[in-house]
Amino acid sequence: MTSRVCLVHYHEIGLKGKNRSTFERQLITNLKRALKGRSAHVERLAGYVRVHFEDEDVPADVPELISRVPGVARVSVAYRCEREPEQYNEAAIESLKACEPFQTFKVHGRRSNTDYPIHSIDLNRQVGAVLCDAFPDKKVQMHQPDVTVNVHVVQSDVYVYADATSMRGAGGLPVGTAGKVVTLLSSGFDSPVATWMVGRRGATCVPVHFSGRPMTSDASEWLTQDIVRALEPAGIIGRLYVVPFGECQREISLKAPQSLRVIMYRRLMFEVAQAVAELEGAKALVTGESLGQVASQTLDNITATNDVAKIPVFRPLIGTDKIEIIDRARRIGTYDISAQTAPDCCTLFMPRRPETHAHLDAVRRAWETFDHDAMVKHLMETIEYVDFDTCPSYRPPRELKTRHRELAPAEWPENSAE
């Protein structure tokens, strides 16, 4: 009997040693979450993960959903056949037919189980002869063919698919295998990409958004929620924190030297993010900074901001330029959201001439011109959050368990506020 399944390939997980099964189990958990409500059966094979459905076919949008889950290197829609030559030969013909137009092809046979009596080389010859008869006007080409038909014997089945119809995945490691981090998330281009990149390395991300409210509207908060939903297939975010930051910015603008305002804002953001990290049990902060891109991201100013950091600060975009960042934003689905303009804390009380090469001594003196400890305490008391059912590895802290009505979508019936 022949049916259609998704064959999920992974690369880095396959290099793991005795803990490989831990990574495989987490990937399966994440795939089940991404396919929730679709009656999908997700199970581990030798070197693969198989996804199949009750009607023995694969919905058209499923491969793309699977491809966005970190840990997936490639996803192929394959024919699942019994170990009968008639079945997998016919499946090979159908796979190659779906790749028209093409001129050259080859067959790649492989056995994961040596109990199958036909050797891989003989499997190549057998299927190749059938395809030559079925496509007499096409040529066999062993190096760089237009299409490769894969015939893999895995456990008790044979899986047949053409690589031309496979889809490249996000790669990386399954979310939930690398601990928890707090990311500073704005509605711009950079920080969503940085969040995705760290999530792709297996980290569970807890974003904190600093809003200009009440000095600005809450538009950036809603855009940030849209960004989280755009990243939903990756399953990297379980909770979004929102910090009404406008009043503190106003106070800083009145007390600190004008040229150092931005650095003061950034240092206070780091302090609040570290308080959230302590609450969440996170081990690092993540920012979307790119070296030299804006005034606050020069090497001297990054050093001045880092001065308050007590835990590691990851900057996955530090060596990238804006074109590269925007290209990545398009690929992960956040570009259209980030392209919308919204007033936020980044544009609030900005100095006319921000310092680009701050001296640490001057920064530390400016830091003591206002009560930053009281600000951190106030901001943590007024912090708001929204939970998203998208990250199986996220566990909320016991101290905070109530969604905030003013941020949560109206369709959530269980919304409440303390």
Give, for 201, the enclosing helix (H) or strand (E).
Answer: none
Three-state DSSP string of 10-78: CCHHHHCCCCHHHHHHHHHHHHHHHCCCCCEEEEECCCEEEEEECCCCCCCCHHHHHHCCCCCCEEEEE
The whole-number average pLDDT for the span 132-140 is 95
pLDDT at 405 over 70: no
Q: What residues form DSSP beta bridges with 207? A: 183
> What pLDDT was estimated at residue 236?
96
The domain that holds 121 is classified in CATH as: 3.30.2130.30
Query: Cα–Cα distance between 64 and 68 in angstroms, integer?
Result: 7
Provide the pLDDT for residue 348: 65
Q: Does 282 fall in a domain?
A: yes
298 or 345, greater pLDDT = 298
Spatial contact of 254 and 52, defined as CB atoms under 8 Å apart: no
pLDDT, position 15: 80
Is the pLDDT score of 418 beyond 60?
no
Q: Residue 120 has what pLDDT?
A: 92
- Report yes or no on 101 lying in a domain: yes
The answer on pLDDT for 374 being more than 90 is: yes
User: How confident is the model at residue 42, as a pLDDT?
Assistant: 96
Task: State the average pLDDT for the chain.
Answer: 91
Which pLDDT value is given to residue 400?
A: 63
Q: Is residue 415 part of a domain?
A: no
Q: Is residue 175, in this structure, part of any structural domain at all?
A: no
Give the number of other CB atoms < 10 A from CB of residue 228. 26
Residue 291 lies in a domain: yes
Q: Is the pLDDT of residue 291 over 60?
A: yes
Same domain, 152 and 221: no
DSSP 139: E
For residues 167 and 305, give the distance between their C-alpha atoms in angstroms, rounded to a whole number: 41
For residues 186 and 254, state if they share a domain.
Answer: yes
Same domain, 150 and 209: no
Identify the CATH number of the domain in which residue 401 sits: 3.40.50.620
Domain that holds residue 158: 3-168
Domain end among 114, 140, 168: 168
Q: Residue 74: is its pLDDT beyond 60? A: yes
Say if residues 195 and 203 touch (Cβ distance below 8 Å): no
Within this chain, do residues 199 and 131 fall inside the same structural domain, yes or no? no
Does residue 142 sit in the same domain as residue 278? no
The DSSP element (H or E) to which 248 belongs, if any, is: helix 246-255
Burial of 164 (0-12, 13-18, 19+ CB in 10 A): middle
Per-residue pLDDT of 197-224, as tens digits, reads 999 999 999 999 999 998 888 899 999 9
pLDDT at 158: 95
- Confidence check: pLDDT of 68 > 60: yes
DSSP 8-state code for residue 237: B
Q: What is the pLDDT of residues 95-125, one digit of tens each?
A: 999 999 999 999 999 988 778 888 999 999 9
In the prediction, which pLDDT does 407 show? 47
Residue 93 sits in the same domain as residue 237: no
Q: Does residue 156 carry a pLDDT above 50?
A: yes
Residue 51, CA distances (Å) to 54, 310, 353 in order:
10, 43, 56
234 and 367, same structural domain? yes
Show binding-site residues: 184-185, 209-210, 266, 288, 297
Q: Which two tokens stand for residue 92?
A: 């090979």
pLDDT of residue 413: 41
Give mean pLDDT, residues 61-82. 95
Residue 230 in any domain: the answer is: yes
> What's the total number of domains in the chain?
2
- 187 and 289 both lie in a single domain: yes
Q: Is the dihedral of CA 180, 182, 188, 190 positive or negative?
A: negative
pLDDT at residue 402 tops 60: no
Residues at the binding site for ATP are 184-185, 209-210, 266, 288, 297
Q: With a cut of 50, say whether residue 411 has pLDDT above it.
A: no
Q: What is the pLDDT of residues 244-278, one digit of tens each?
A: 999 999 999 999 999 999 999 999 999 999 999 99
- Confidence class of residue 409 from pLDDT cuts 50, 70 and 90? very low
User: What letter does residue 374 receive in the DSSP assignment?
Assistant: H
- Residues 290, 391, single domain; the answer is yes
Is 418 part of a structural domain of the chain?
no
In this predicted structure, the answer to whether residue 1 has a pLDDT above a threshold of 70 is: no
Average pLDDT of span 59-67: 94
Residue in 204, 164, 177, 194 with CA at minimum distance from that of residue 297? 194
Proportion of the chain above pLDDT 90, given as a percent: 79
Same domain for 383 and 266: yes
Same domain, 66 and 156: yes
If one counts every other C-beta atom within 10 angstroms of the C-beta of residue 321, the result is 13
pLDDT of residue 366: 96
Q: Are residues 25 and 138 in the same domain?
A: yes
Q: Is 211 helix (H, G, I), strand (E, B) or coil?
A: strand
Give pTM, 2 decimals: 0.89
What is the per-residue pLDDT for 345? 66
Residues 28, 45: Cα–Cα separation, whole Å = 11
| pLDDT average, residue stretch 35-45 | 91
Least confident span in 98-102, 340-344, 355-359: 340-344
Residue 140 falls inside a structural domain: yes
CB contact at 8 A, 202 and 16: no
Whether residue 417 is predicted with pLDDT greater than 60 in this model: the reply is: no
Segment 277-290 shows an average pLDDT of 96
Peptide bond into 343 cis (omega under 30): no
